[in-house]
Every structure is written in C-alpha cells, then in structure tokens.
Amino acid sequence: MRGKRRLHDVLARQWIVFALVLLAGFAAMTVLTAYMLEDRLIDDRLRDVGRQQGLHSPGPLPPGFMLVARRQADDALRERTAGQPLDAIREFRLPDGRYLHVLAMRDGRGAESLLVHDATAHLAVNPALVRAWPWLLLIATALALVAWALAHRFVARVSGQARELVARFSEAEGPHDLHALADAQGIFEFSELARLNAKVWESRRAVLDRERETLAFLAHELRTPLQSARTSLALLDALPERVEHAAWQRLHRAVGRLARASHALLWLGDGQAAPPRPCKPLRLLGTLVEELAPLAAAKGQTLRMPSGPDIDWPMPGEVAETILNNLLLNAIQHGDRGEIRIQVHGTTLGIDNPLPDRPAPSGFGVGRQLAERLVERFGGTLRQRALPGHRLRVEVDVGPGGTVPAQPERNAAGDGLASSRPGGVRN
C-alpha cells in the first residue's frame, strides 16, 4: 500500500535519531563540564591570591591581577560589583571585551577592596571549540553513519520476524495454525498478536456455525407447515367449485414466497450441498413481474422486460427467484416514478430504476445482504452503481458458471427490448 512505511525503516530511523540525540546530549554535557572546570580553576587561583593579599605584609600581585579599593574603582567596575558581598566572586565581560573574575575582600589594612583578575588570556574552551569544530563535525558524521549501520543491523531481525509473522498469518489454514505460531514466537507482543488473531478466528467461526445451525433449524421448521399448506392449496385448486379471487391469488403468492425463503435458508446454511441444476432467470422474472405489476402501477412505475432468449444460471430456481424477487421489490419500493428496466448482458442481469429526489427513509437492508450472500454462494457477485439521469443499477453476475445462447434474438428495434403501454408490464 502506498503511503505506508515499513517497520524496518521506522525502527531504523528512530534508532538513528536516538543515537544522534544521545550524541548531542553527551557533547553538550562535555562542553558544559569544560566551562565549569575552567571557571573553577580561575576562581581557585583568584582565592589563593586573595588570601595572600589579605595578610599584613602581602607580596607582589601576579601578572593579570589588580587590587583596588572599592571606593576607588572605575564606574564600570563599581556598577558590576554593586551589592557584591565579601568573599564572593563575580564574573562578567566588559564592553571592551575583557573577561574579569572579581573577588570582594578586605586587604591587609582591613579596607574593602576588589581583587580583579583579567582571565581573557586564560580562557581555553572557546578557542579550542573554534579550532576543533571541523573535527567535531567529522566525528559526528562518522558516528551518524555508524548509528545508521548499527540501526539497520539491529532492527533487521525484528522487522524480519514481523514480515515472517504477516506471511504466516496469510498462510494459516485455521486457528490451530495461529496458536502454534504464537507458541513459537520469542517476542511477547508477536505471540499475543498471533494468539488474539486465533481467538478472533475462533469466535468468527463459532458465530458462523451458530448461524448455520439457526438457518438449518428455520428451514427445517418451515418445510413441514409449507408442505402441508402447498398440498392443501393443490387440493383446493382441484375442486370444481373453486372461485378465482384476489385473496386466493395473494395466498398462493404468500405460500410461494415462504417456499422460496425456505429453500434460500437451506442453501445459506448448507455449505456442502450437491451442485444444483441451472435455472432460467428471465422465466422466473416473468412470473415475478406479473406478480408485482400492480404494486409498480400504484407507484406510477413501468416494468420493462427484455425480449431476447433466456440464459442459464448455475443455481436452483428457488434461490434465483428469491434473489430476483428481492432486487425487483427493492427497485419498486425505493425507486421513483418512471421505468424500471431489466436488461441482460452476457450472463449478467441488471435492474435499474429511477431514484427519488429525496432519499427514502430506508434503503437496501438485510434482504439485499442475504441476496448478495446467496449470489456469492454460487460463485457470482452482486454490485450496484449509479447511472446518468439519477438512476441506480443493481447487477447480478454469475460468472463463468452461467451460459448464454449462441445467437440471441432481438426485436425489430434492435435493442433487445419490447415495449407496451405505460403503467403496466413491458414484455
């Protein structure tokens, strides 16, 4: 993936930054210690001379030292030493560049005096830094290169283990492989990562098993009453005094939908079912279109069927009917007024409908997700995409398992579609 950094590079950079920061810290501590030692040596020398000058018979002052009464000091010196207590040392730089260390003391006569030491010539750290900075820069560059080499050397093992862990995750065939991988890891975090992935896998498998058992139970519980209802309807249909009525037709359609749901549940729950015989989706759609045409007409919609030959889908007719019923019903319920088109391209069947200006309160939900799972169960895909003209198209592609007639027929218009009056069914 673009924009993602490798663990090896991240750890190496962090190691290099750590080494450089550590080097800079040690260098700063070294320079600070040198300054402190230099000042301490100058102060110790100043106090030694001060003790000698505090005697009744002091000796001569060493070069660079000057003893002056506080009251007779010049303005710059009095200003910098104002408020300085006895036996205290102050250090400062004068405007003329001289760096002075000043000790407030009493001379041999007991008068307050200032022992001044011009330490400008004794400063060794600053000149040394000026002379040594090219060498220091060279050493820092060499240390950075060594840190870079060591970083890549040290983190190569960790990053290699991480890459191997990711590869083993991809090759794992089950939670037991991940548990074995966790036991073999020498790094605690890597071991816990493998163990947590194994637990997630086990939890997901348990959920799928419970779902499969639930689906199988529901399908089994539906089959017995459905069989009784279908047998009873068949017997009633055979009676000579049977009366055609809308309620009777709705009862037939309800039993049909329950039967389709029962078969769909069986196929969702059984992962080892025998290969099904292919079905004709357009023939099934014709029945569904006739069944849902009143609902579409009530919403000002027209259902347009293709007029070419049918195709083969590698799935049971009950499952295909469940999928097509869900997609067509969604197109009617969530679509706007206008034409709902059903088109076939190869083995792909598409249903597109106009979208309302204001989105409906609920869109494709659990029914569409179950339809998508049924399509995937037989090696196909279900997808949707927006079309020009504010329309939505849902397509079912059954993949290589479907077959297409060798020479599909077309109508006189050449578009593979037939037309009829608005508000009804185009077939």
Is 141 domain-assigned? no
Give the pLDDT of residue 212. 72
Residue 87 belongs to a domain: yes
Together in a domain, 262 and 313: no
Question: Do 34 and 106 lie in a common domain?
Answer: yes
In order, the DSSP letters of 13-81 are HHHHHHHHHHHHHHHHHHHHHHHHHHHHHHHHHHHHHHHHHTSSS--PPPTTEEEEEGGGS-HHHHHHT
**Beta bridge mates, 359:** none
Are residues 222 and 322 part of one domain? no
Residue 153 lies in a domain: no
Residues 380 and 298 in one domain: yes
CA distance 117 to 228: 118
> What pLDDT, on the 0 to 100 scale, is given for residue 193?
87
Q: How would DSSP label each residue in 88-152? A: -EEEEE-TTS-EEEEEEEE-TTS-EEEEEEE-GGG--HHHHHHHHHHHHHHHHHHHHHHHHHHHH
Same domain, 258 and 286: no
pLDDT of residue 300: 92
Mark the ranges of the chain whose per-residue pLDDT is less than 50. 1, 272, 362-364, 407-423, 425, 427
Residue 375: give its domain's CATH number.
3.30.565.10
Q: Are residues 47 and 125 in the same domain?
A: yes
Residue appearing with tokens 């499952």: 319
Is residue 224 domain-resident? yes
Domain range spanning residue 252?
Answer: 215-269
Containing H/E element for 267? helix 246-269
Please state, in angstroms and rounded to a whole number, the distance separating the CA atoms of residues 154 and 37: 38
What pLDDT is attached to residue 394?
93
In the chain, how many domains are there? 3
Last residue of a domain, one of 136, 168, 203: 136
The pTM of the full predicted model, rounded to 2 decimals, is 0.46
How does pLDDT run across 213-267, given as a tens digit for each residue? 776 666 666 666 666 676 776 766 676 666 566 666 667 667 776 776 666 766 6
pLDDT at 351: 94
Domain boundary, last residue among 242, 269, 296:
269
Q: In this predicted structure, what is the pLDDT of residue 423?
A: 44
Beta bridge partners of 306: 417
Contact of 182 with 199, CB cutoff 8 Å:
no
The CA-atom distances, in angstroms, between 282 and each of 79, 87, 91 are 106, 110, 101
| Residue 204 lies inside a defined structural domain of this protein | no
The structure tokens listed for 252 are 């037939």
In a domain, 71, yes or no: yes
Q: Is 57 part of a structural domain of the chain?
A: yes
Q: Do both 240 and 295 map to the same domain?
A: no
pLDDT in tens, 189-204: 888 888 898 999 898 8
Instruction: Note the pLDDT of residue 269.
Output: 63
